Structure 1
Amino acid sequence: MFFVGVPNIIGQNIKNNPESNHANKFEQLGTILPSPNDFRTASGAPGSNYWQQKVDYKIVCELDETNRVLTGDETITYFNQSPDVLTYLWLQLDENEHHSKSGNNYFDGSVMDSVMDVQYLKQLAPPEKRLAGLGVNIQAVKDAKGKPMAYTINQTMMRIDLPSPLLPKSKINFSVTWSYKIPDRLEFRGRGGYEYFQKDGNDIFTITQWYPRLCVYSDFQGWQNKQFTGRGEFALTFGDFDVSIKVPSDHVVAATGECENVNSVLTPTQLQRWKSAKVSNEPIEIVTLEEAKKAEQSRSKTTKTWQFKAKNIRDFAWGSSRKFVWDAMQKKIEGKPVMCMSFYAKEAYGLYRPYSTKVVAHALEVYSKFTIPYPYPVAQSVEALNGMEYPMICFNYGRTAEDGTYSEDTKNGMIGVIIHEYLAEQHFENGFPSRGGSPSDIVDYMRLPKNQLEPIMTNSENIIRFGPNAYTKPATALNILRETIMGRTLFDFAFKEYSKRWAFKHPTPADFFRTMEDASGVDLDWFWRGWFYDIEPVDISLDSVKYFQVNYDKNPTQKSDTIKIKSPKPIDDLSVLRNSQDASILYATTVDKTLQDFYFKNKPYKTKDSVVKITMNRYDSLLSPAVKREKFGNQFFYQLHFSNKGGLVMPIIIQWNFTDGTNEIDRIPAEIWRKNEERVEKVFIKSKEVQSVSIDPFKETADIDLSNNHFPKKIIPSKFKVFQSKMKYRGQSHPDNLMKRAKATEKELKK
């Protein structure tokens, strides 16, 4: 997310008039945001004196598969492009999160229960015993002449003291030699490590956040000096990479950047497939399934070095295994060819072979449309039972059952992790079951007790429910901003402008907030306050409806009718509805029929209309005896009373259901709450008689209580799920999935 790693922006919602029912939620953010300056302007754009540092790496590393140890020697060139004189440099040692002395291993409490999981019991062991041997071993830090440099390690941070000050517009060269024992990432968690496959005795190595790397030194916080605890993510300094990776010769390596020596690391046959893939619009297996299976049975005693280069990137990651199948295809992004690739073991073949590389290509296409054209020559997905993304490479899950079948949830989860964003998921397939972005996805979280909630603008380590707070709520907020507050046209233009302004730079949340307003002409401070700086939920209640009609009688009466209404099919996602009405959207599953699998063709979901009986009270009132019948006689007046029970101000979307079976929507902007943030009344004139009224009919505001959204009142059914205990690993298809059962039934019918 765009707000990661900017602690000085984190703050609370400061109220200007806390004892009042107005002049709080719609006041400007003011001092909550940092003051504009020459580096970052009030418009949200980089200032005339904006600067950022640069760092280049030349790394030579070797994977010792037998001992599961990685050693490396890196030469670093650091460019001081700031106006400041630096006397020391800070580097991150992320792998030290697994060191027994790192504070993150002592942060959380623990409890005992009558039934205990073995993995949990292992976590109870003292860090000194459980994590023995893990962490980075710094062997040497030397200057360009080979002279030792003084350094200090503080948990996941390392400070290098410079022998002489590094002046502005100057650079320094130094080297770091290091090694570490690669952890079992299923046991010790973390972003990188190895996974052991007992059946064939092989590993998949996921090497991420692995080399000592420069922290960001910026205008808004100086050195980034927060410890890495395994949760938060930090911005990194952009630069160029030249990386040589020595592995067993029967391994296949997936890495950031372009491989410089494919001619020497591939067999002649594989090289020919690679050349064919570079001009193919369908994935071609460069390393085939049969070759990968054969390699699993071997153990090469020789090594091979893969060489990769990448320019203007912030990080470098790689994976290595003899189990890897490798497929690739070309995708042109605005005329520029990009190699889309996937690496996966046989355990994931049934899902990754038909989907992964094509999903990568789809993601690039949609991202490029809404941000900037994808700037790099490579994009790849690696199946590794965990999810994390780095420049040009992402690690994802998605394995089949042993017979090749898979569950729909695993398939959609795999696609969702590769794509990673709501909008691109919805362009893959209309109604794709995204796990974040739709307003209904965040409702359960937002209705929790306030002592279990934090604002989005909170340090990662302080969040109790990390997934909903750091992923679901921000995605939902931006989706609501696009669909309900700004509209797609204004949002898309402003978001693209933000992307262009800050590509390859270091934006802060304030830069995003300001750019979105600057490029759209929409005052959104109230929205940032409510959604990003506060924890109040949306709960707008339709408390009463008064119905007035011109009456020339002297004694107005109250009457009550019993009527029948036909309930429309519920619409849980406004984006899905609008996408289905947008002919310009070409869904990947529609364009490419090969993406239509068993689950695409077998959708068991149907919603039936129902007829219910309700009672609506009608009130006639004498407006004026002098009113002309021809002017008001055919008009219906409705006075609606709303209360803001949740606290978070939002637009009021009203659906009027008329007695003739038609309906219409009125959209009242959030500013209706300016003068009174707690309650408001508003009169509407309709030319037809209203049968019932509903608010937020498309569930687009994340309202936590739908029972007070209707008049007359409706009974809102509650849902519950019956589920079995969780599988051991995320992304592993259950052996008894719907596809397998359907195949078994089909087989029986053929007998």
Structure 2
Amino acid sequence: MQRLVKLSLLIIISLPTFAQTAFNANGRFEQLESTLPTPNSYRTASGSPGKDYWQQRADYDIKVELDDINKKITGAETITYFNNSPDELPYLWIQLDQNVFEKNAASKTGDTGEIKTGISSRTFNDLTDTRDYGYKITAVKDVKGNPIRHTINQTMMRIDLPTPVKSGGSVSFNIEWNYLITEYLSRSGYEFFAKDGNANYFIAHWFPRMAVYNDVYGWQHKQFLGQGEFTLNFGNYKVAITAPNDMVVGAGGELLNPNQVMSSTQLKRWDKAKTATRPVEIVTQAEAEAAEKGKPTGKKTWVFKADNVRDFAFTASRKFIWDALQVDVEGKKVWAMSYYSKEGNPLWGKYSTMVVAHTLRSYSKRTIAYPYPVAISCHATLGGGMEYPMISFNGGRPETDGTYTENVKNGMIGVIIHEVGHNFFPMIVNSDERQWSWMDEGLNTFCQFIAEQEWDRNFPARRGDPQNIVPYMRLDSKNQVPIMANSENIMDFGNNAYAKPATALNILRETVMGRELFDYAFKEYARRWAFKQPYPADFFRTLEDASGVDLDWFWRGWFYGTEPVNQAIETVEWFGLDNMDPVAKKETEKAKAVAKQQTITNIRNKTEITSTFVEENPDLTDFYNTYDRFATTETEKKKYQDYLSGLSADERKSITEGKNLYVVNFKNKGGLPMPVIVKLNYEDGTEEVLRFPAEIWRLNDVQAKKIIPTTKKVVKWTLDPYFEIADIDTEDNAYPREPAQPTRVQLFKAQPRSYSGGQNPMQEAQNAKKSGAVTGSKN
């Protein structure tokens, strides 16, 4: 309840002291200098690459064969490594990520788990499969064919060079290998279709590739345990992929020999796709279904090149439908393409390539123009997705009858946006995934959130909206780690590496910085670090440098801490300026006195005491029986006029306007300081939203009192009215408090509700249509 307290104009001079928040020392707004690495000539204090910035490069010439019968990869490569560092290197480290599937891999022996009510068939098969899916390295040689001494340490291999590679020098060598392809597990493998006896292949981290040597860690050779992804060098690739001649092969690069691997009909369709406005099928569903029933008559080699990329992946199947569309992205023509088997239709044919095109345009606006010639979406298994330069493997599949739920459709669109979006983070802005998962997953999920809103109004984005992160931030801090944690040490990976950083960036954009400042700074980060390797300090410093906003408190709270946001309004005090008018003052006092006389005793005495003794004996009355103590005297009137004549025009205006002064006591119960957004509902039905920066908590991180002047009476105060700061408890955000609401329970005597015996809405609508019923579809 708010009670009006009158203040004289004299007191207004001391009001700031009157409502000063008590000091409470805290370090939440201290600068991060002691936490961030010291700037140097490689990485500057502004967050940009320094004048001496360098990075290594590795070029690959690879020949690989896909064995469809034995589910096996056999390959040979020539790697040319360019040492752009200032250091002489006596040995090189090679990544053997496929060794994560070795029988005795650390990813398996160091894993933990338990069985409660059951176990998935996939997990069971993985635990009991005795086959070894790791690399079989058959040769490591120099360009003259001489063996090079090498040592394999789990997912890393050290090559001991006969002669150190000097700064500014290069070295070439050859590696030969093979391995058994796993069923689609984690990020790559194959999906087998028992009904037609065919498989779709999604081949990734399939070749030995150079580890990164940089100015931050030297050799980044942390073992691949399966969660922290990849740290890679840029380079140029030429890859020749040999597969059965009835398969369609797609890869993250430009096809160099289309005339040798595509039919004349397919080439004509390819030309048509260059000017089409909707995807054109290069291989139709009818052709794909016919290929499913046939057998290969030989082999075919598809040759691709990819320049200035950090990795290379490919896909292959005789089941594939292949569609393509050339789209304009920031003035450049880019191929958007999809590969999918009939199991993906009708969803994939309708949406996949169009989503690819939309994603390229959306991300290019906010980062840099997409620099590569193609972007591909491949239909993988039922689950999520995985990304590589120019190609991604994505889930989302309808029922066997072609129907699907809204969640399946939106999930497929979301995962394609996300995985195609990874072309920007980390394929172009080449962060160290092995160390900092959030730098690609979090930034990409943030851009995905924006692209989803641009795809369809009110798209049900899973991550990015502050309300969606609240359940995670409500968790006890012992069940969380900071965003700034190594990739392998993260609990609740999806929330920590994807959702929380994406939400934090959305809050920066919408609430802390504003869209204009944030968008410019974010784009500047992408521009500075395109085709380079940034680390967290480079990101933090760039956003501050390009926006002019001190964000150290934000990085400290959101990225280095686990405290939640929980603001509350404790109290509201209401003050008004006393205009000193004696007439008005006496009338107010009289009304209060009359009101106080309405006691139960006086009310009953009016009827029970018909007359008092004095009323029966009027000679006992005197001056005070007729005296009106609430009447204004001439002395009081003159004193008031003298008071007014001593005021300036502005002072007289202040006391006659009827301004209200509210002292609102805000509480930071969660610990994480954030801006205070409060909506004021006025007595006349209007409303106003006030915004106070996070610095309101700088002197006291627990309590902040704010004086808020208004010309109208406030009847309700509401914190965070647009749900923009991820407040974990909104019950105390309103003042006066909202009435308690009952917890609703259901009364039922039958089965819980479901979709008409298990049908999805599309199936239900189709059945209703057959029976002539009216459906609830919408445009």
Q: TM-score range by the shorter chain?
A: 0.7 to 0.9
Alignment partner of 1:659 is 2:655? no
Q: 1:441 Cα shift?
A: 1.2
Distance 1:116 1:137 in 2: 31
Equivalence for 1:565: none
Q: Where do residues 401-440 of structure 1 align in structure 2 (5 Å cutoff)? A: 401-420=399-418, 421-440=448-467
Equivalence for 1:687: 711
1:124-159 residue CA offsets vs partner (Å, 9 max, x unmatched): 54xxxx342211110100001110001111111111
1:583-623 residue CA offsets vs partner (Å, 9 max, x unmatched): xxxxxxxxxxxxxxxxxxxxxxxxxxxxxxxxxxxxxxxxx
Letter matched to residue 695 of structure 1? L
Equivalence for 1:178: 177
Equivalence for 1:347: 343
Distance 1:737 1:543 in 2: 47
Distance 1:482 1:526 in 2: 16
Distance 2:744 2:135 in 1: 49
Change (3 A) 1:719 1:90: farther
For normalisation by structure 1, the TM-score amounts to: 0.84
Distance 1:146 1:428 in 2: 54
- 1:91 pairs, out of 94, 107, 115, with 94
SS at match of 1:31: coil
Change (3 A) 1:671 1:243: same
**Which consecutive residues of structure 1, in runs of 5 or more, have no partner in the other structure?**
1-19, 561-624, 726-733
1:515-571 residue CA offsets vs partner (Å, 9 max, x unmatched): 11111100011111011010011001111112223456489889x9xxxxxxxxxxx
Change (3 A) 1:276 1:362: same
Distance 1:31 1:492 in 2: 28
Alignment partner of 1:746 is 2:769? yes
Please report the RMSD computed on the Cα atoms of aligned residues, expressed in angstroms: 2.3
Equivalence for 2:10: none
CA contact (8 A) 2:101 2:132 kept: no
Q: Where do residues 551-566 of structure 1 align in structure 2 (5 Å cutoff)? A: 553=585
Distance 2:41 2:686 in 1: 56
Equivalence for 1:568: none
CA contact (8 A) 1:401 1:735 kept: no
Distance 2:388 2:677 in 1: 40
Distance 1:280 1:718 in 2: 56
SS at match of 1:30: coil
Distance 2:38 2:130 in 1: 44
CA contact (8 A) 1:406 1:735 kept: no
Equivalence for 2:668: 644
Change (3 A) 1:677 1:374: same
Q: 1:266 Cα shift?
A: 1.1
Q: Where do residues 358-377 of structure 1 align in structure 2 (5 Å cutoff)? A: 358-377=354-373
- 2:394 pairs, out of 396, 400, 416, with 396
Q: Where do residues 127-206 of structure 1 align in structure 2 (5 Å cutoff)? A: 130-185=129-184, 189-206=185-202
**Which consecutive residues of structure 2, in runs of 5 or more, have no partner in the other structure?**
1-22, 419-447, 596-639, 645-650, 775-779
Equivalence for 2:266: 270
Equivalence for 2:105: 102
Letter matched to residue 412 of structure 1? N
State the number of aligned residues.
651
Change (3 A) 1:718 1:255: farther
Equivalence for 1:503: 530
Change (3 A) 1:170 1:653: same
CA contact (8 A) 1:402 1:735 kept: no
Q: 1:639 Cα shift?
A: 1.2
CA contact (8 A) 1:98 1:131 kept: no
Q: 1:717 Cα shift?
A: 8.1
Change (3 A) 1:210 1:32: same
Distance 1:669 1:367 in 2: 29
Letter matched to residue 532 of structure 1? F
Alignment partner of 1:66 is 2:39? no
Report which stretch shifted further, 625-634 or 493-502. 625-634
CA contact (8 A) 1:707 1:716 kept: no
Q: 1:699 Cα shift?
A: 0.5
1:61-82 residue CA offsets vs partner (Å, 9 max, x unmatched): 0000010000000100000011
Alignment partner of 1:78 is 2:76? no
SS at match of 2:771: helix
- 1:519 pairs, out of 546, 549, 560, with 546
Q: Where do residues 236-247 of structure 1 align in structure 2 (5 Å cutoff)? A: 236-247=232-243
SS at match of 2:727: coil
Distance 1:118 1:364 in 2: 37
Distance 1:28 1:681 in 2: 24
Report which stretch shifted further, 418-427 or 288-297. 418-427
SS at match of 2:527: helix
Letter matched to residue 401 of structure 2? D
Alignment partner of 1:46 is 2:72? no
Distance 1:116 1:63 in 2: 32
Distance 1:373 1:114 in 2: 50
Distance 2:741 2:151 in 1: 61
Equivalence for 1:476: 503
Distance 1:659 1:123 in 2: 66
Distance 1:146 1:247 in 2: 27
Letter matched to residue 402 of structure 1? T
Letter matched to residue 760 of structure 2? N
Distance 1:117 1:396 in 2: 21
Larger Rg: 2
Distance 2:453 2:348 in 1: 20
SS at match of 2:34: helix
Distance 1:209 1:139 in 2: 18
Change (3 A) 1:116 1:86: closer
1:204-238 residue CA offsets vs partner (Å, 9 max, x unmatched): 11101111000111111111111111111223100
SS at match of 1:32: coil
SS at match of 1:478: helix
Alignment partner of 1:546 is 2:542? no
Question: Whose helix proportion is higher, 1 or 2?
Answer: 2
1:24-64 residue CA offsets vs partner (Å, 9 max, x unmatched): 11000012111111101101110001000111000000000
Distance 2:61 2:473 in 1: 47
Q: Where do residues 198-217 of structure 1 align in structure 2 (5 Å cutoff)? A: 198-217=194-213
Distance 1:717 1:664 in 2: 30
Equivalence for 2:613: none
1:267-310 residue CA offsets vs partner (Å, 9 max, x unmatched): 11111101111222210000001101111111214111111001
SS at match of 1:229: coil
Change (3 A) 1:111 1:28: same
1:654-684 residue CA offsets vs partner (Å, 9 max, x unmatched): 0001122211110000000010011111110
Equivalence for 2:721: 697
Distance 1:437 1:96 in 2: 35
